Amino acid sequence: MSTPNPPKPNPRPAEHHRSPLSGPAGLIAGLIAGLILMFPLVSLSEDAPSDNGGGAEQSSTSEESATSKQDAAPEESAESEEAGPAQESTAPDEPGRLGVELNRLEQLDGSCRVYLVFQNGLGTPLKALQLELVLFDGQGFIQRRLTLDAAPIAADKTSVKLFDLADTQCDEMGRILVNDLLELAGPEGELPNEVSQLELSTKLEVELFK
């Protein structure tokens, strides 16, 4: 009689090797590792605005410098404008003028009295002033030639001088020519005696010219 073989025990399935990071503990460790890896990125993203901020400060500084240059430009132009008149003031003044105005004609019997107004703008008293005049009638013909002494005339003074033309009718006078400035002198001696120094004018229909 054969003896039955005893039943073999069922082999246990092989246990799988579990990683210490599997399961809930593994998830927590993964999250922690992810957070640790994210911190440097977060710090870099926070540093970026400071760089941008620095750039903004530089741009604002450049704008301020440009504004300061613009503000300085009017001051420089103002200084140049102020320098302009100063340079002009140092330029030599124009030579003075001697104004002569024919103001009035007055008939006296057989003579014509002529009123002349002198404005001394030469800056010095006149001790001598002698003009050569030529009279023309209404048709342009020469009536007569005469010499007029008008001195003295004070400096910067308006003076009225009158002279009588014998045997002359005022209504027959057409024009008076200042033909020459024969003599012009001040306290220190003779002055340039150019006819161009005279400024002539008239209040009448009779022309006073040079």
- For the chain, the structural domain boundaries read 24-91, 98-209
Residue type, 122: L
% pLDDT > 70, the chain: 55
The larger pLDDT score, comparing residue 93 to residue 45, is at: 93
Per-residue pLDDT, 193 = 84
Sign of CA dihedral 189, 159, 151, 201: positive
- The domain made up of 98-209 has a fold known as Immunoglobulin-like (2.60.40)
Q: What is the mean pLDDT of the chain?
A: 75
Task: Tell me the mean pLDDT in the region 22-35.
Answer: 62
- Place 192 in a pLDDT band, splitting at 50, 70 and 90: confident
% pLDDT > 90, the chain: 50
Q: Looking at 1-10, 100-109, 194-203, which range is the least confident one?
A: 1-10
Residue 162: which residues within 8 A CB-CB, separation 6 or more?
113, 114, 115, 116
pLDDT tens string 78-93: 454 554 544 444 444 5
Residue type, 121: G
pLDDT tens string 124-176: 999 999 999 999 999 999 999 999 999 999 999 999 999 999 999 999 999 99
